[in-house]
Amino acid sequence: MNPIQLSIFANRLAGICDEMGALLRASALSPNIKDRLDFSCAIFDAAGGLCAQAAHIPVHLGSMAYAMADLVEGREWRAGDLLVVNDPYLGGTHLPDVTVVAPVFVDGRLLAFTVTRAHHANIGASSPGSMPVSRTLDEEGLVIAPQWLKRAGDWQVPLCRRLAGLADEPGASEAPLEVPRFADFAAQASACQAGARRLADLIAERGADALDHALVALNDYGERRMRQRLADLADGVYRFRDVMDDDGQGQRDIPIAVTLTVDGDRAHLDFTGTAGQVAGNINCPLSVAAAAAWYCFRCLLPDDAPSCAGLFRPITLAAPEGSLVNARRPGAVAAGNVETSSRIVDVVLGALAGALPEAIPAASQGTMNNLAMGEGGERPWDYYETMAGGQGAHAGGDGLSAVHSHMTNTLNTPIESLEEHYPLRVLRYALRRGSGGAGRHRGGDGIERELQFLAPARFTLLTERRHHRPWGLAGGEPGAAGENRLNGQALPPKYSGQAVAGDRLWLASPGGGGYGRA
């Protein structure tokens, strides 16, 4: 394919992913999807290789790319099928992130898959928001092994009822599409099916053989782009180490270490030296570690580079089995996907700073500041969100303030939506002035967010960078650590508690590290 044809093809695939995302957002009910945009959409080839993705959430997309081949292999796919899975050890990230996969058939031949992954605030954990301070995977909610959500176009009603939180009714023949808890699953299904139709139309227009040739060309081009960029890095061995605050079960200062070896146009990451699997829920499966590592290298490329499997061929990764970044079942992983992935980004970028110092920023906030809350009873509710913070400064300027950085690409829930849907009042939502690290270029500032409970509720915090500040680079100062307080009393980074009406929960997110000496 000539470069113009290849660019048009890549952008048409990405456009289908964008359309899937727009449909998912428009048809979902939960603020997590329609307001916070906690979802991702992608296209894979028939073997499970990444073809295209929208600019959604890196931890979703990278982990799907790592695990998709194993997920689709060996199954008897039929037209109209939908596969659903959230098992972190079988291609998921953590249980609230549920993946739906649709096959794309043209003239009876399986040619591709469309995929959505979205965060569900209630996946059946005992604590509201399904982000508990847990010790095992089973404590975190319903574990969905890969199974059919639809088979040849027919909803699998017993599973649908289970996902909706309804009791099984023998003989029930209709999927519970009107039940709010199931509505987001139906939205994901619609987005996958719409993407499959668009992709089938594109294939019919060009022909199946032309699609195969185009995908080969696209992946080869992506590989060339990455190899050219890796060749810019100075050959050598670069090491970096950082720590997690705690695991929520009493273990503190938990190290994550990486050794980056750059050899010509190839790179290898080795996480030997990282702590072993812990009792708390900051463990993560290798797919999440790979997503974080790949994201860092993807950031070295300009926007016009295609997001395809070929990009990552020159990058290899090793992590000890049973470690924090390659956990074994039944290790708890709820915070590994959000908090440990953020620290993996910090250590990989720290190592890359040795090989390409002018291109790497200081540490950003290094946490997603996870807040989950809700209550049962006659009017049950579940709420979950991540909070923005400061971005690390860089050689070209200051870091951005009040943004979601790196492995999350979501938004804060708008105050109007929050107060409309839940018994909460937002008392403060402001920049945390001066929280960015000093330097020739300042780190971005975090934010302050104070909520007042209007009714009793249980809440959970899964946060990081409360003890260890985001590091500066090239002589820049670290950003301020984050803080959690209930009615003025300090709370630990990982905490679950009960609030009564009138209580005030105040969260302050970390600032980004500074760059260069002032």
**Domain parsing of the chain, residue ranges:** 3-222, 361-518
pLDDT, tens only, 223-268 = 999 999 999 999 999 999 999 999 999 999 999 999 999 999 999 9
* Cβ 10 vs Cβ 211: under 8 Å: no
Q: Which of 57-61, 147-151, 491-495 has the lowest mean pLDDT?
A: 57-61
Q: Give percent of the chain with pLDDT exceeding 90.
A: 83
Check whether 61 has a pLDDT greater than 80: no
Q: What is the pLDDT of residue 92?
A: 84
Over its C-alpha atoms, the chain yields an Rg (Å, rounded) of 22
- Whether the Cβ atoms of residue 94 and residue 88 lie closer than 8 Å to each other: yes
Q: If you average pLDDT over residues 166-189, what whole number do you get?
A: 89
d(CA 132, CA 95): 11
Virtual torsion, Cα 143, 148, 150, 154, nearest 10 deg: -120
Please list the residues that pair with 517 across neighbouring strands: none
First to last CA, the chain: 50
Q: What is the pTM for the complete model shown?
A: 0.95
Kind and range of the H or E element at 295?
Answer: helix 286-298
Tell me: the pLDDT tens digits for 446-474? 999 999 999 999 999 999 999 999 999 99
With CA atoms as reference, report the closest residue to 147 among 84, 80, 76.
84
Give the pLDDT confidence score for residue 381 in this predicted structure: 92
Token pair for 210? 């032309």
pLDDT of residue 116: 95
* Residue 206 phi, psi dihedral angles, 5° rounding: -100, -25
Q: Which three-class secondary structure string do you get for 430-499?
A: EEECCCCCCCCECCCCEEEEEEEECCCEEEEEECCCCCCCCCCECCCCCCCCCEEEECCEECCCEEEEEE
AA letter at 274: T
